[in-house]
Structure 1
């Protein structure tokens, strides 16, 4: 058991298979692709926003208090691994959400803010902006700040600040985005 639970990817894989099995057992007659993609969208979304909140509520505020000799433990080991799951969870959340909107027949209506779909469209566009920030602002700057790519100290400091601001912007945007995503499901159409 120790070997199994020491492998995070195996745990995630088994958890996903068990969830699919539950769907098959309890909803075999009503399971659709939309149900599966909604669940995957929520799963990856929780991973993405959970890591976003970890960075903003825990890691960023705590780092100034970490003794200098211990900071490499975070910057060389914890942060790069967390950023791996963070950026891929962002990509998969967006992909699953776009597939879900397509399967439910409202992708075009939502992305173009047509009547009745403005709220989900707003949530989708906020999610797209946030994913763009992850891949094209936060990640490239974190690679410099963490020393994954070569950069001098001045560049590292500037990159860390840029990544932090983009991350805080994503935290800000996540609040209305979550409202839009969750509320759309409960509104009459």
Structure 2
């Protein structure tokens, strides 16, 4: 069967299946992320406590199962794709120095951070918040940790939304933009960004990534610090800043390449 030919090749069946899983997982994961941030959050603000609690137990709880496992599938299949692209092997020692490699590295780091936020922050915090809602519905006392857990989950979910915008851009980077930035292996005519250019790109990217992630996790003055209020309080602002980050990084590629 053609699908299973050249299983470990860069254009073989393993690559095709990995990409198919990556697309399915990514669509599901990011789609549910946007549902939580753009629809559920606004709807919950208009609900009574009772209605919100019932929605948490009957809708959010079920949705979180698909959400976290879609994140896992997306991350695992992404590593699978990189392995089949020889990005970790000796056949492509200079891959990470090309504009395609830098762009994919940005996307991979953002995706890994987002998946970690899902499994290590959002899911544990939501278990506390939803568990408290279940207790109240059964006539028990609310968990005093529930409000803080809900805030923690909300901030992590919102920073994932912020990161998702440049993530998607840089995941499509190799096929659509890398040739224009000189990558010979992507059909370009040069060698991509210089060493100094790569340093500039990485420094700017890492500053944005570290500051926003630490801020969202409450490590820079708590969950309600000024930066979080500016970027993460309203999903409309999160979208704007997500596009701003994407544009800044893209323009840097233009400047240093």
TM range (shorter): 0.7 to 0.9
Report deviation, 1:64. 1.4
**Correspondence for 2:97:** 115
**Residue aligning to 2:198:** none
Separation of aligned partners in 2, 1:163 and 1:120: 27
Match of 1:135 among 119, 123, 132: 119
Find the structure with the greater CA-based Rg.
2
1:87-141 alpha-carbon deviations (Å, 9 max, x no partner): 000001000010011011114699x982011100110010000000000000000
Partner of 1:61: 42
Structure 2 counterparts to residues 102-181 of structure 1, below 5 A: 102-107=83-88, 114-116=96-98, 117-147=101-131, 152-181=142-171
Aligned to 2:53: 72
Task: Report the Cα distance in structure 2 between the residues aligned to 1:132 and 1:142, rounded to whole angstroms.
Answer: 15
Residues 140 and 78 of structure 1: CA distance in aligned 2, closer, same or farther (over 3 Å): same
Q: Partner residue of 1:86? A: 67
CA distance, structure 2, for counterparts of residue 145 and residue 185 of structure 1: 42
Give the 3 Å change call, closer, same or farther, for CA 69–98 of structure 1 in structure 2: same
1:95 and 2:85 aligned: no
Aligned residues: 161
Distance 1:122 1:108, change over 3 A: farther
In structure 2, do the counterparts of structure 1 residues 166 and 108 end up closer, same or farther at CA, with 3 Å as the change threshold? farther
Contiguous gaps of at least 5 residues in structure 2: 4-10, 136-140, 180-185, 187-257
The corresponding residue for 1:16 is none
8 Å contact kept, 2:18–2:78: yes
Q: Is contact 2:28–2:67 with CA below 8 Å preserved after alignment?
A: yes
Q: Is the 8 A contact 1:138 1:163 kept in 2?
A: yes
Quote the offset at 1:75 in angstroms. 1.0
Query: Within 1, Cα distance between the matches of 2:59 and 2:49?
Result: 15
Q: Distance in 2 between matches of 1:60 and 1:108?
A: 44
Can you give the 5+ residue segments of structure 1 that lack an aligned partner in the other structure? 1-22, 25-29
